[in-house]
Chain A
Protein backbone atom coordinates (compact mmCIF):
# COMPACT_ATOMS: atom_id res chain seq x y z
CA UNK A 1 0.00 0.00 0.00
CA UNK A 2 2.82 2.38 0.91
CA UNK A 3 4.39 1.65 -2.44
CA UNK A 4 1.22 2.52 -4.22
CA UNK A 5 0.96 5.82 -2.39
CA UNK A 6 4.58 6.58 -3.18
CA UNK A 7 4.03 5.71 -6.81
CA UNK A 8 0.95 7.91 -6.94
CA UNK A 9 2.86 10.79 -5.41
CA UNK A 10 5.70 10.34 -7.86
CA UNK A 11 3.30 10.23 -10.78
CA UNK A 12 1.60 13.35 -9.54
CA UNK A 13 4.91 15.16 -9.22
CA UNK A 14 5.91 14.15 -12.73
CA UNK A 15 2.58 15.12 -14.15
CA UNK A 16 2.54 18.51 -12.54
CA UNK A 17 6.03 19.41 -13.65
CA UNK A 18 5.40 22.48 -15.71
CA UNK A 19 7.63 23.52 -18.54
CA UNK A 20 8.50 26.89 -19.99
CA UNK A 21 6.64 28.38 -22.92
CA UNK A 22 9.48 27.51 -25.27
CA UNK A 23 8.86 23.80 -25.02
CA UNK A 24 5.11 24.26 -25.30
CA UNK A 25 3.28 21.96 -25.58
CA UNK A 26 4.64 19.29 -23.24
CA UNK A 27 1.32 17.86 -22.10
CA UNK A 28 -2.12 17.30 -23.63
CA UNK A 29 -4.11 20.44 -24.42
CA UNK A 30 -7.74 20.75 -23.40
CA UNK A 31 -10.24 22.49 -25.63
CA UNK A 32 -13.35 23.42 -23.67
CA UNK A 33 -16.56 23.27 -25.69
CA UNK A 34 -19.39 25.23 -24.04
CA UNK A 35 -22.15 23.00 -25.46
CA UNK A 36 -22.92 19.31 -25.23
CA UNK A 37 -21.25 16.62 -27.27
CA UNK A 38 -22.77 16.11 -30.71
CA UNK A 39 -23.95 19.69 -31.29
CA UNK A 40 -22.67 21.86 -34.16
CA UNK A 41 -19.99 23.60 -32.08
CA UNK A 42 -18.78 20.29 -30.67
CA UNK A 43 -18.64 18.81 -34.16
CA UNK A 44 -16.58 21.71 -35.50
CA UNK A 45 -14.19 21.41 -32.57
CA UNK A 46 -13.69 17.68 -32.93
CA UNK A 47 -13.01 18.05 -36.64
CA UNK A 48 -10.19 20.55 -36.14
CA UNK A 49 -8.82 19.04 -32.91
CA UNK A 50 -7.13 16.10 -34.59
CA UNK A 51 -5.10 17.99 -37.24
CA UNK A 52 -4.31 20.71 -34.67
CA UNK A 53 -2.98 18.12 -32.26
CA UNK A 54 -0.87 16.64 -35.06
CA UNK A 55 0.59 20.05 -35.86
CA UNK A 56 1.41 20.67 -32.20
CA UNK A 57 2.74 17.18 -31.55
CA UNK A 58 0.41 16.71 -28.58
CA UNK A 59 -2.98 15.14 -28.15
CA UNK A 60 -5.97 17.42 -27.71
CA UNK A 61 -8.67 16.56 -25.23
CA UNK A 62 -12.19 17.88 -25.65
CA UNK A 63 -14.19 18.85 -22.58
CA UNK A 64 -17.88 19.69 -22.82
CA UNK A 65 -18.72 22.17 -20.07
CA UNK A 66 -22.37 23.10 -20.43
CA UNK A 67 -24.59 25.74 -18.90
CA UNK A 68 -26.13 29.18 -19.27
CA UNK A 69 -25.66 29.66 -23.01
CA UNK A 70 -21.99 28.82 -22.86
CA UNK A 71 -21.13 31.37 -20.16
CA UNK A 72 -20.26 28.72 -17.54
CA UNK A 73 -17.54 27.31 -19.80
CA UNK A 74 -16.22 30.74 -20.73
CA UNK A 75 -16.15 31.73 -17.06
CA UNK A 76 -14.11 28.64 -16.24
CA UNK A 77 -11.58 29.21 -18.99
CA UNK A 78 -11.27 32.91 -18.04
CA UNK A 79 -10.18 31.77 -14.59
CA UNK A 80 -7.91 28.97 -15.83
CA UNK A 81 -4.15 29.26 -15.83
CA UNK A 82 -2.81 31.28 -18.78
CA UNK A 83 -0.41 28.57 -19.92
CA UNK A 84 -2.01 27.60 -23.22
CA UNK A 85 -3.20 24.21 -21.99
CA UNK A 86 -6.79 25.35 -21.60
CA UNK A 87 -8.36 26.62 -24.79
CA UNK A 88 -11.95 27.72 -25.31
CA UNK A 89 -13.97 27.18 -28.46
CA UNK A 90 -16.89 29.58 -28.58
CA UNK A 91 -19.20 31.01 -31.19
CA UNK A 92 -21.14 34.20 -31.83
CA UNK A 93 -22.49 33.89 -28.26
CA UNK A 94 -19.20 35.32 -27.02
CA UNK A 95 -20.18 38.70 -28.46
CA UNK A 96 -23.78 38.69 -27.28
CA UNK A 97 -23.24 37.43 -23.72
CA UNK A 98 -22.20 40.83 -22.26
CA UNK A 99 -25.53 42.31 -23.38
CA UNK A 100 -27.67 39.25 -22.63
CA UNK A 101 -26.20 38.57 -19.17
CA UNK A 102 -25.79 41.68 -17.09
CA UNK A 103 -23.79 40.10 -14.28
CA UNK A 104 -21.42 38.20 -16.52
CA UNK A 105 -18.45 37.14 -14.36
CA UNK A 106 -15.94 37.84 -17.14
CA UNK A 107 -15.33 40.32 -19.95
CA UNK A 108 -14.95 38.62 -23.36
CA UNK A 109 -12.67 41.35 -24.69
CA UNK A 110 -10.43 41.72 -21.64
CA UNK A 111 -10.24 38.33 -19.98
CA UNK A 112 -9.33 36.38 -23.12
CA UNK A 113 -6.66 36.42 -25.78
CA UNK A 114 -7.91 35.42 -29.22
CA UNK A 115 -6.25 32.68 -31.24
CA UNK A 116 -8.16 32.96 -34.49
CA UNK A 117 -11.47 32.43 -36.21
CA UNK A 118 -12.36 28.91 -37.31
CA UNK A 119 -15.44 29.03 -39.46
CA UNK A 120 -18.46 31.15 -40.22
CA UNK A 121 -21.55 28.96 -40.54
CA UNK A 122 -24.24 30.53 -42.72
CA UNK A 123 -27.86 30.62 -41.63
CA UNK A 124 -31.01 29.97 -43.63
CA UNK A 125 -34.45 31.51 -43.34
CA UNK A 126 -37.03 28.74 -43.61
CA UNK A 127 -40.81 28.52 -43.29
CA UNK A 128 -43.41 25.81 -42.81
CA UNK A 129 -44.30 23.91 -45.97
CA UNK A 130 -47.75 25.47 -46.40
CA UNK A 131 -46.75 28.99 -45.39
CA UNK A 132 -48.24 31.51 -47.83
CA UNK A 133 -45.17 33.52 -48.95
CA UNK A 134 -42.94 31.83 -51.52
CA UNK A 135 -40.02 34.22 -51.75
CA UNK A 136 -38.15 36.33 -49.25
CA UNK A 137 -39.77 39.50 -50.59
CA UNK A 138 -43.22 37.95 -50.16
CA UNK A 139 -42.25 36.89 -46.65
CA UNK A 140 -41.21 40.44 -45.76
CA UNK A 141 -44.45 41.85 -47.17
CA UNK A 142 -46.51 39.20 -45.43
CA UNK A 143 -44.76 39.84 -42.11
CA UNK A 144 -45.27 43.58 -42.40
CA UNK A 145 -48.96 43.11 -43.20
CA UNK A 146 -49.74 40.56 -40.51
CA UNK A 147 -47.35 41.74 -37.79
CA UNK A 148 -47.65 39.79 -34.56
CA UNK A 149 -49.96 37.23 -36.16
CA UNK A 150 -46.79 35.82 -37.69
CA UNK A 151 -44.93 33.41 -35.39
CA UNK A 152 -41.16 33.07 -35.40
CA UNK A 153 -39.57 30.04 -33.70
CA UNK A 154 -36.18 30.13 -32.02
CA UNK A 155 -34.05 27.73 -30.01
CA UNK A 156 -33.95 29.77 -26.79
CA UNK A 157 -32.36 32.94 -25.41
CA UNK A 158 -29.04 33.73 -27.04
CA UNK A 159 -29.25 30.91 -29.60
CA UNK A 160 -28.18 31.70 -33.13
CA UNK A 161 -31.79 31.42 -34.25
CA UNK A 162 -32.79 33.95 -31.59
CA UNK A 163 -30.18 36.44 -32.80
CA UNK A 164 -31.09 35.96 -36.46
CA UNK A 165 -34.76 36.54 -35.64
CA UNK A 166 -34.03 39.78 -33.80
CA UNK A 167 -31.93 40.95 -36.73
CA UNK A 168 -34.69 40.07 -39.19
CA UNK A 169 -37.31 41.98 -37.22
CA UNK A 170 -34.98 44.94 -37.00
CA UNK A 171 -34.27 44.80 -40.73
CA UNK A 172 -37.96 44.86 -41.64
CA UNK A 173 -38.80 47.13 -38.69
CA UNK A 174 -41.75 45.01 -37.62
CA UNK A 175 -42.44 43.21 -34.36
CA UNK A 176 -43.51 39.58 -34.84
CA UNK A 177 -44.49 36.98 -32.23
CA UNK A 178 -41.42 35.11 -31.03
CA UNK A 179 -41.95 31.53 -29.89
CA UNK A 180 -38.94 30.20 -27.93
CA UNK A 181 -38.08 26.51 -27.76
CA UNK A 182 -35.68 24.44 -25.71
CA UNK A 183 -33.15 23.88 -28.48
CA UNK A 184 -33.27 23.58 -32.24
CA UNK A 185 -34.80 20.08 -32.34
CA UNK A 186 -38.20 20.94 -30.87
CA UNK A 187 -38.35 24.24 -32.77
CA UNK A 188 -37.75 22.46 -36.06
CA UNK A 189 -40.31 19.80 -35.16
CA UNK A 190 -43.00 22.40 -34.68
CA UNK A 191 -41.99 24.16 -37.89
CA UNK A 192 -42.18 20.93 -39.89
CA UNK A 193 -45.48 20.18 -38.14
CA UNK A 194 -46.81 23.58 -39.15
CA UNK A 195 -47.35 24.85 -35.59
CA UNK A 196 -45.23 27.97 -36.20
CA UNK A 197 -44.63 30.02 -39.34
CA UNK A 198 -40.91 30.45 -39.86
CA UNK A 199 -37.46 30.46 -38.33
CA UNK A 200 -33.82 31.07 -39.19
CA UNK A 201 -31.10 28.65 -38.21
CA UNK A 202 -27.65 27.33 -39.06
CA UNK A 203 -27.31 25.31 -42.25
CA UNK A 204 -25.98 22.50 -40.08
CA UNK A 205 -29.47 22.09 -38.66
CA UNK A 206 -31.62 22.89 -41.67
CA UNK A 207 -30.00 21.51 -44.84
CA UNK A 208 -31.54 18.06 -44.40
CA UNK A 209 -35.05 19.43 -44.01
CA UNK A 210 -34.68 21.85 -46.92
CA UNK A 211 -33.43 19.13 -49.26
CA UNK A 212 -36.16 16.78 -48.07
CA UNK A 213 -38.79 19.37 -48.92
CA UNK A 214 -40.22 19.49 -45.42
CA UNK A 215 -39.75 23.19 -45.07
CA UNK A 216 -39.79 26.11 -47.48
CA UNK A 217 -36.42 27.85 -47.80
CA UNK A 218 -36.34 31.60 -48.43
CA UNK A 219 -32.73 32.73 -48.30
CA UNK A 220 -29.26 32.19 -46.98
CA UNK A 221 -27.97 34.96 -44.75
CA UNK A 222 -24.45 35.32 -46.11
CA UNK A 223 -22.94 37.18 -49.06
CA UNK A 224 -22.53 34.11 -51.25
CA UNK A 225 -24.76 31.22 -52.21
CA UNK A 226 -24.08 27.83 -50.68
CA UNK A 227 -22.51 24.99 -52.61
CA UNK A 228 -24.87 22.58 -50.90
CA UNK A 229 -28.00 24.62 -51.76
CA UNK A 230 -27.11 26.40 -55.02
CA UNK A 231 -30.68 27.43 -55.87
CA UNK A 232 -31.20 29.33 -52.64
CA UNK A 233 -30.71 33.11 -53.09
CA UNK A 234 -28.80 35.21 -50.59
CA UNK A 235 -30.61 37.81 -48.51
CA UNK A 236 -28.90 40.58 -50.45
CA UNK A 237 -29.96 39.09 -53.80
CA UNK A 238 -33.49 38.85 -52.49
CA UNK A 239 -33.45 42.50 -51.55
CA UNK A 240 -33.08 42.39 -47.78
CA UNK A 241 -30.18 44.16 -46.14
CA UNK A 242 -29.22 41.72 -43.44
CA UNK A 243 -26.26 39.39 -43.07
CA UNK A 244 -25.46 37.06 -40.21
CA UNK A 245 -23.31 33.98 -39.75
CA UNK A 246 -22.45 31.91 -36.71
CA UNK A 247 -18.73 32.48 -36.42
CA UNK A 248 -16.59 30.24 -34.25
CA UNK A 249 -13.25 31.11 -32.73
CA UNK A 250 -10.60 29.84 -30.29
CA UNK A 251 -9.64 31.69 -27.11
CA UNK A 252 -7.08 31.33 -24.33
CA UNK A 253 -7.09 33.14 -20.97
CA UNK A 254 -5.64 36.68 -21.10
CA UNK A 255 -1.98 36.77 -20.17
CA UNK A 256 -1.03 33.67 -22.13
CA UNK A 257 2.53 34.16 -23.50
CA UNK A 258 2.58 35.45 -27.07
CA UNK A 259 4.71 32.63 -28.45
CA UNK A 260 2.24 30.09 -27.07
CA UNK A 261 -0.63 31.89 -28.81
CA UNK A 262 1.42 32.00 -32.01
CA UNK A 263 1.94 28.24 -31.88
CA UNK A 264 -1.78 27.69 -31.42
CA UNK A 265 -2.63 30.05 -34.27
CA UNK A 266 -0.16 28.27 -36.56
CA UNK A 267 -1.68 24.91 -35.63
CA UNK A 268 -5.18 26.25 -36.30
CA UNK A 269 -4.11 27.53 -39.72
CA UNK A 270 -2.60 24.16 -40.57
CA UNK A 271 -5.77 22.39 -39.45
CA UNK A 272 -7.95 24.62 -41.60
CA UNK A 273 -5.95 23.59 -44.68
CA UNK A 274 -6.53 19.91 -43.95
CA UNK A 275 -8.53 18.31 -46.76
CA UNK A 276 -10.65 16.21 -44.39
CA UNK A 277 -11.60 19.34 -42.43
CA UNK A 278 -12.52 21.17 -45.65
CA UNK A 279 -14.63 18.22 -46.86
CA UNK A 280 -16.48 17.76 -43.59
CA UNK A 281 -17.08 21.47 -43.20
CA UNK A 282 -18.59 21.45 -46.69
CA UNK A 283 -21.02 18.76 -45.60
CA UNK A 284 -22.00 21.04 -42.72
CA UNK A 285 -22.70 23.75 -45.28
CA UNK A 286 -19.70 25.85 -44.35
CA UNK A 287 -16.02 26.42 -45.13
CA UNK A 288 -12.94 27.12 -43.01
CA UNK A 289 -12.18 30.86 -42.79
CA UNK A 290 -9.45 32.27 -45.02
CA UNK A 291 -5.95 31.98 -43.52
CA UNK A 292 -5.72 35.71 -42.75
CA UNK A 293 -8.96 35.45 -40.74
CA UNK A 294 -7.54 32.64 -38.59
CA UNK A 295 -5.40 35.13 -36.70
CA UNK A 296 -5.71 36.86 -33.33
CA UNK A 297 -6.03 40.28 -35.02
CA UNK A 298 -8.94 39.35 -37.30
CA UNK A 299 -10.60 37.46 -34.47
CA UNK A 300 -10.36 40.37 -32.02
CA UNK A 301 -11.69 42.70 -34.69
CA UNK A 302 -14.68 40.42 -35.32
CA UNK A 303 -15.36 40.00 -31.61
CA UNK A 304 -15.39 43.71 -30.86
CA UNK A 305 -17.37 44.74 -33.93
CA UNK A 306 -19.93 41.98 -33.29
CA UNK A 307 -20.24 43.01 -29.65
CA UNK A 308 -21.03 46.53 -30.82
CA UNK A 309 -23.45 45.29 -33.47
CA UNK A 310 -25.56 43.14 -31.17
CA UNK A 311 -25.73 45.45 -28.16
CA UNK A 312 -28.39 47.86 -29.51
CA UNK A 313 -30.35 45.09 -31.21
CA UNK A 314 -30.62 42.97 -28.09
CA UNK A 315 -31.37 45.99 -25.93
CA UNK A 316 -34.09 47.15 -28.32
CA UNK A 317 -35.67 43.70 -28.25
CA UNK A 318 -35.76 44.00 -24.46
CA UNK A 319 -34.33 40.58 -23.74
CA UNK A 320 -31.98 40.07 -20.89
CA UNK A 321 -31.08 37.04 -18.88
CA UNK A 322 -31.06 38.85 -15.55
Chain B
Protein backbone atom coordinates (compact mmCIF):
# COMPACT_ATOMS: atom_id res chain seq x y z
CA UNK B 1 0.00 0.00 0.00
CA UNK B 2 1.67 3.15 -1.11
CA UNK B 3 -1.11 5.55 -0.19
CA UNK B 4 -0.88 7.44 3.08
CA UNK B 5 -4.03 6.04 4.63
CA UNK B 6 -5.02 2.99 6.64
CA UNK B 7 -6.37 0.47 4.14
CA UNK B 8 -7.58 -1.80 6.95
CA UNK B 9 -9.70 0.89 8.55
CA UNK B 10 -10.94 2.04 5.17
CA UNK B 11 -12.16 -1.44 4.28
CA UNK B 12 -13.54 -2.13 7.76
CA UNK B 13 -15.48 1.14 7.61
CA UNK B 14 -16.92 0.22 4.23
CA UNK B 15 -17.93 -3.24 5.44
CA UNK B 16 -19.73 -1.86 8.47
CA UNK B 17 -21.47 0.71 6.27
CA UNK B 18 -22.51 -2.16 4.01
CA UNK B 19 -23.94 -4.15 6.92
CA UNK B 20 -25.75 -1.07 8.17
CA UNK B 21 -27.35 -0.47 4.78
CA UNK B 22 -28.28 -4.12 4.24
CA UNK B 23 -29.79 -4.70 7.67
CA UNK B 24 -31.41 -1.25 7.64
CA UNK B 25 -33.00 -1.88 4.25
CA UNK B 26 -34.37 -5.23 5.39
CA UNK B 27 -35.62 -3.73 8.68
CA UNK B 28 -37.70 -1.20 6.76
CA UNK B 29 -39.80 -4.03 5.33
CA UNK B 30 -40.92 -5.00 8.83
CA UNK B 31 -43.40 -3.10 10.94
CA UNK B 32 -41.45 -0.37 12.75
CA UNK B 33 -43.92 0.74 15.39
CA UNK B 34 -43.14 3.51 17.85
CA UNK B 35 -40.68 3.82 20.71
CA UNK B 36 -43.44 2.93 23.11
CA UNK B 37 -44.94 0.11 21.05
CA UNK B 38 -42.02 -1.31 19.17
CA UNK B 39 -42.61 -3.45 16.12
CA UNK B 40 -40.26 -6.15 14.89
CA UNK B 41 -38.39 -3.62 12.73
CA UNK B 42 -37.73 -1.01 15.39
CA UNK B 43 -34.77 -2.45 17.20
CA UNK B 44 -32.86 -3.69 14.12
CA UNK B 45 -33.42 -0.35 12.40
CA UNK B 46 -31.85 1.55 15.29
CA UNK B 47 -28.92 -0.86 15.38
CA UNK B 48 -28.46 -0.52 11.63
CA UNK B 49 -28.30 3.24 12.08
CA UNK B 50 -25.69 2.89 14.82
CA UNK B 51 -23.46 0.53 12.84
CA UNK B 52 -23.78 2.75 9.77
CA UNK B 53 -22.65 5.72 11.84
CA UNK B 54 -19.74 3.79 13.34
CA UNK B 55 -18.77 2.64 9.87
CA UNK B 56 -18.69 6.21 8.61
CA UNK B 57 -16.55 7.31 11.56
CA UNK B 58 -14.08 4.44 10.99
CA UNK B 59 -13.99 5.29 7.27
CA UNK B 60 -13.33 9.00 7.84
CA UNK B 61 -10.69 8.31 10.48
CA UNK B 62 -8.92 5.94 8.10
CA UNK B 63 -8.30 8.80 5.67
CA UNK B 64 -6.52 10.74 8.37
CA UNK B 65 -4.62 7.83 9.92
CA UNK B 66 -1.19 6.78 8.77
CA UNK B 67 -0.55 3.61 6.78
CA UNK B 68 -1.04 0.25 8.52
CA UNK B 69 1.88 -0.96 10.59
CA UNK B 70 1.31 -4.52 9.47
CA UNK B 71 0.17 -4.75 5.84
CA UNK B 72 -2.97 -6.63 4.92
CA UNK B 73 -1.06 -9.73 3.82
CA UNK B 74 -2.19 -12.44 1.49
CA UNK B 75 -5.45 -14.35 1.48
CA UNK B 76 -5.16 -18.17 1.29
CA UNK B 77 -7.71 -18.39 -1.53
CA UNK B 78 -7.04 -22.05 -2.25
CA UNK B 79 -7.50 -23.01 1.39
CA UNK B 80 -10.49 -20.74 1.84
CA UNK B 81 -12.39 -22.26 -1.06
CA UNK B 82 -11.57 -25.86 -0.15
CA UNK B 83 -12.35 -25.39 3.54
CA UNK B 84 -15.67 -23.65 3.05
CA UNK B 85 -16.49 -25.93 0.11
CA UNK B 86 -15.97 -28.94 2.37
CA UNK B 87 -18.28 -27.53 5.01
CA UNK B 88 -21.00 -26.77 2.47
CA UNK B 89 -20.64 -30.23 0.97
CA UNK B 90 -21.14 -31.72 4.42
CA UNK B 91 -24.25 -29.64 5.05
CA UNK B 92 -25.79 -30.51 1.68
CA UNK B 93 -25.09 -34.23 1.70
CA UNK B 94 -25.06 -35.41 5.31
CA UNK B 95 -28.74 -36.34 5.25
CA UNK B 96 -28.69 -37.89 1.82
CA UNK B 97 -25.34 -39.65 1.67
CA UNK B 98 -25.08 -40.31 5.38
CA UNK B 99 -22.32 -39.41 7.78
CA UNK B 100 -19.47 -41.56 6.50
CA UNK B 101 -19.23 -40.52 2.82
CA UNK B 102 -20.20 -36.94 3.53
CA UNK B 103 -17.66 -36.49 6.29
CA UNK B 104 -14.98 -38.26 4.27
CA UNK B 105 -15.28 -35.83 1.37
CA UNK B 106 -15.51 -32.82 3.68
CA UNK B 107 -12.39 -33.77 5.64
CA UNK B 108 -10.55 -34.70 2.44
CA UNK B 109 -11.24 -31.23 1.05
CA UNK B 110 -10.22 -29.44 4.23
CA UNK B 111 -7.11 -31.59 4.66
CA UNK B 112 -6.12 -30.79 1.09
CA UNK B 113 -6.58 -27.10 1.90
CA UNK B 114 -3.13 -27.17 3.44
CA UNK B 115 -0.36 -26.52 0.95
CA UNK B 116 1.76 -29.04 2.74
CA UNK B 117 -0.64 -31.96 2.38
CA UNK B 118 -0.51 -34.16 -0.72
CA UNK B 119 -3.50 -35.95 -2.27
CA UNK B 120 -2.42 -39.22 -0.69
CA UNK B 121 -1.84 -37.55 2.66
CA UNK B 122 -5.25 -35.91 2.53
CA UNK B 123 -6.83 -39.22 1.60
CA UNK B 124 -5.20 -41.03 4.51
CA UNK B 125 -6.05 -38.25 6.94
CA UNK B 126 -9.67 -38.14 5.77
CA UNK B 127 -10.03 -41.90 6.10
CA UNK B 128 -8.57 -41.91 9.59
CA UNK B 129 -10.66 -38.96 10.76
CA UNK B 130 -13.87 -40.41 9.34
CA UNK B 131 -13.18 -43.69 11.12
CA UNK B 132 -12.38 -41.92 14.39
CA UNK B 133 -15.50 -39.75 14.19
CA UNK B 134 -17.76 -42.71 13.51
CA UNK B 135 -16.14 -44.55 16.40
CA UNK B 136 -16.65 -41.63 18.77
CA UNK B 137 -20.01 -40.26 17.70
CA UNK B 138 -21.90 -43.29 16.45
CA UNK B 139 -20.37 -46.17 18.38
CA UNK B 140 -19.39 -44.53 21.66
CA UNK B 141 -21.93 -41.71 21.99
CA UNK B 142 -24.74 -43.38 20.08
CA UNK B 143 -25.77 -40.30 18.10
CA UNK B 144 -28.75 -41.04 15.92
CA UNK B 145 -27.10 -40.15 12.63
CA UNK B 146 -27.21 -42.56 9.70
CA UNK B 147 -23.74 -43.76 8.65
CA UNK B 148 -24.95 -44.16 5.09
CA UNK B 149 -28.00 -42.32 3.86
CA UNK B 150 -31.00 -42.94 1.61
CA UNK B 151 -29.18 -41.76 -1.54
CA UNK B 152 -27.01 -44.85 -1.29
CA UNK B 153 -29.88 -47.31 -0.91
CA UNK B 154 -31.03 -49.25 -3.90
Please give the residue numbers on chain A whose beta carbons come within 8 Å of chain B beta carbons, in ascending order: 1, 4-5, 8, 11-12, 15-18, 30, 61-63, 81
Contacts and interface: CB of A to CB of B under 8 A. Distances in A.
Contact of A12 (B124, B127, B144, B152): B152
A63 B144 contact: yes
A66 to B, nearest CB: 14
A15 B150 contact: no
A81 B150 contact: yes
B147 interface: yes
Nearest to A15: B148
A175 to B, nearest CB: 15
B139 interface: no
B77 interface: no
A79 to B, nearest CB: 10
Given A1-B124, A1-B127, A4-B127, A16 B144 contact: no
Interface of B: 98, 100, 124, 127, 131, 144, 147-148, 150, 152-154
B148 A61 contact: no
A61 B144 contact: yes
B100 A8 contact: yes
A38 to B, nearest CB: 16
27 contacts: A1-B124, A1-B127, A4-B127, A4-B131, A5-B127, A8-B100, A11-B147, A12-B98, A12-B100, A12-B147, A12-B148, A12-B152, A15-B147, A15-B148, A16-B148, A16-B152, A16-B153, A16-B154, A17-B153, A17-B154, A18-B153, A18-B154, A30-B144, A61-B144, A62-B144, A63-B144, A81-B150
Contacts of A81: 150
A63 B143 CA distance: 9
B114 to A, nearest CB: 20
Given A4-B131, A12-B98, A63-B144, 8 more contacts: A1-B124, A12-B100, A12-B148, A15-B147, A16-B148, A17-B154, A18-B153, A18-B154
Contacts, number: 27
A302 to B, nearest CB: 28
A193 to B, nearest CB: 23
Contacts of B127: 1, 4-5
Nearest to B123: A1
Contacts of B153: 16-18
Contacts of A5: 127
A28 to B, nearest CB: 9
Interface centre among B100, B147, B150, B154 (most CB of A within 10 A): B150
A319 to B, nearest CB: 12
A205 B153 CA distance: 43
Nearest to B154: A16
A63 B146 CA distance: 11
A47 to B, nearest CB: 17
Contacts of B150: 81
A143 B148 CA distance: 57
A4 B147 CA distance: 15
- A-B complex: 6 closest residue pairs judged by Cβ atoms: A16-B153, A61-B144, A12-B148, A63-B144, A16-B152, A15-B148
A36 to B, nearest CB: 14
A321 to B, nearest CB: 11
Contacts of A62: 144
A8 B138 CA distance: 15
A30 to B, nearest CB: 6
Interface centre among A4, A12, A62, A63 (most CB of B within 10 A): A12
Contacts of B148: 12, 15-16
Contacts of B100: 8, 12
Contacts of B154: 16-18
Nearest to B142: A61
Contacts of A18: 153-154
